[in-house]
Amino acid sequence: MLIAANKAVSIDYTLTNDAGEVIDSSAGGAPLVYLQGAGNIIPGLEKALEGQAVGAELKVCVEPEDAYGEYAAELVSTLSRSMFEGVDELEVGMQFHASAPDGQMQIVTIRDLDGDDVTVDGNHPLAGQRLTFDVKIVAIRDASEEEIAHGHVHGEGGHHH
């Protein structure tokens, strides 16, 4: 069986940036299980895995436009401290969930604090970065109709609901 749309795929992976720092890894834990063709993983990685078989080991280099997007300066804005009512102490690097104008949830990170001004950055923490994935394909199975309808994998490593 090869990886194609509507297959549930288990992978072991290590994600590093251009500086060689490990950003994320399944090492020491369970493999990542995702539904191919459903946008569960970044587009560049999904594309590279299409057609691969169990046991294959790949090094996949993904440019920002096929990962978390280019860094967008317009997503940086300055807010008043009063917007953060209920937060005891604001610190640079803190992250908050916020809803974007299009209704999508996004993570904003505090970049700077200056008096009443709080500079926040709505870029994904990995925006603008080229990412390298070392991937080993552990398992491939047909997804169930329910999983396909939901757009994600159920059971071990997947959604429980």
Query: Could you list the residues that contact Zn ion (CB under 5 A)?
Result: 150, 159
CB of residue 39 to Zn ion, shortest distance in Å = 15
Rounded to whole angstroms, the Cα distance separating 156 from 73 reads: 39
Tabulate helix, strand, coil % of the chain (nearest 5): 15, 40, 45
CB of residue 38 to Zn ion, shortest distance in Å = 11
Cβ-based nearer residue to Zn ion, 44 or 158? 158
* Residue nearest Zn ion, Cβ-based: 150
Cβ-based nearer residue to Zn ion, 47 or 159? 159
CB of residue 149 to Zn ion, shortest distance in Å = 8
Rounded to whole angstroms, the Cα distance separating 103 from 122 reads: 14
Cβ-based nearer residue to Zn ion, 46 or 147? 147
Cβ-based nearer residue to Zn ion, 141 or 150? 150
List CB contacts of 74: < 8 A, sequence separation 6 or more: none
CB of residue 40 to Zn ion, shortest distance in Å = 12
Report the relative pairing of strands 22-25 and 7-16 from DSSP bridges: antiparallel
Rounded to whole angstroms, the Cα distance separating 91 from 74 reads: 22
List CB contacts of 87: < 8 A, sequence separation 6 or more: 94
